[in-house]
Structures are given as structure tokens and as C-alpha cells.
Chain A
Amino acid sequence: MEMFYEILITVFLVLAGVFGLAGSFGLVKLRDTMQRLHAPTKATTLGVGSVLIASMLYFGLIKGQLSFHELLITIFLFLTAPITANFIAKTYMAMNMKPEDIPETERAYGWAIFEDPPQPVVIDDEGQEGA
């Protein structure tokens, strides 16, 4: 049974290494900034996820001390990866595109990367919109 656990952990570690390398290699190989955004945010998060699964299995099955700290790191990374990708895409758009290049928002406000946020509407005691 010990042998089976070791094979399982080894598989996860090798998977993590391959995905981590693929994510970082995509950063070098892909041509455009927006294409490059694709590689690390997906593959490296999967690589780190495999490392953390391997760590949980190692400490739970071989060392005999089950811990859930790794799940915290996994959840944190899964929550923050899309926010980071969104911010980097917005930075790229703000520095490379003009407002004429992208379609209209079809709403009262324009794109957030070009315009200031709208002022809050103040309503006074009579229910009228004030300044």
C-alpha cells in the first residue's frame, strides 16, 4: 500500500512540474501580450494545485498528519488568478487602445479604463436629486 501512495504522489509531482514548465514556456513562446495572458494564468495555477495536492497526500498518507493548510493556498490562488488576469488585460487595453478602437458599451457610461467613475447621485429630504 505504501508503494501505491508513493506512485500517486509521484504522479502528482511530475504533473505539477510539467504544467508549471508549460505555463512558463508559454510566456516565452506566444507572440502577443493578450495571447501570453492565456498561458500562465491557467497552466501555472494547475501546476501549483498539483503541488499542493501532492503535499496534502504526502503529509496525510506517509507522515500520518493530515492538514488542510494547502487548501487555503489553493482557494486563495483560484480566487485571485482571474482578478489578476483581468487587471493585466485592462492595463494592456489602457496603454494600447484608443476609445475609438473598441465598440460602445451601449450604456449610460463609457469604458471604465478611459473614464472616471460616475459621481454618486445625492437625493435630499424631499426625494429630489440634489447636486
Chain B
Amino acid sequence: MIEMALYFAMGCFGVGLLFNLYRIAVGPQAADRILALDTMVINVIALIVLYGIQGGTATYYEASMLVAMVGFVSTVAYCRFLLRGDIIE
């Protein structure tokens, strides 16, 4: 039963990644693309944790934690670059 639910959740997040890809391709503005990239990072975190549950190992938490941190920093850096033309003033 858990196996079926895992596949369902993975499918949902996978389809969500495709939606995000559509938004990145269509735009129409830079803010939309940043938002879609941020959502993509969150979906990937969920996929990594689901993969960890499926494998039954606790190895993937560090990976998902790192992805969360890198995603946050990259989103803020991209926004600041568009806002001020510079990342660290």
C-alpha cells in the first residue's frame, strides 16, 4: 500500500516538474521564471525524500537539505541581481 502511494506521489511531483518547465519556457517575465525555478527546487526536494523512503535508507536527507539550501541561495541571488544589478554590494 505504501509502495502504491509512493508511486502516486512521485508521479504527482513529476507532473508538477513538467508544469514548472512549461512556466520557465513560456515566461513571460523574469519573476515568473524565478518562481518556477524555486518551485522546481521544492519539487525535487520532495522527490529525493520519496526516493529515500522507497529505498529504506536515511542517506538522502543530507542531499535534500543541501538542495534546499542551494535553491534558496540561488533564488535570492537571482532576485538581487535583477533588483540591484549586483549580488553582494
Contacts and interface: CB of A to CB of B under 8 A. Distances in A.
A48 B42 contact: yes
A80 B76 CA distance: 10
A24 B39 contact: yes
Contacts of A45: 42
Given A36-B35, A113-B83, A20 B43 contact: yes
Interface in A71-124: 72-73, 76-77, 80, 83-84, 87-92, 94-96, 113
Nearest to A94: B83
Given A91-B34, A94-B82, A52 B69 contact: no
Given A13-B6, A28-B19, A76-B69, A91 B1 contact: no
Nearest to A5: B2
Contact of B65 (A13, A33, A73, A95): A73
Contacts of B38: 40, 84, 88
B15 interface: yes
Nearest to A63: B56
A36 B32 contact: yes
B29 A95 contact: yes
5 contacts: A17-B9, A33-B35, A40-B38, A80-B68, A88-B79
Interface of B: 1-2, 4-6, 8-13, 15-17, 19-20, 22-23, 29-32, 34-36, 38-39, 42-43, 45-46, 49-50, 52-53, 56, 58, 61, 64-65, 68-69, 72, 75-76, 79-80, 82-83
Interface of A: 6-7, 9-10, 13-14, 16-18, 20-21, 23-25, 27-28, 33, 36-37, 40, 44-45, 47-48, 51-52, 54-55, 58-59, 63, 65, 67, 69-70, 72-73, 76-77, 80, 83-84, 87-92, 94-96, 113
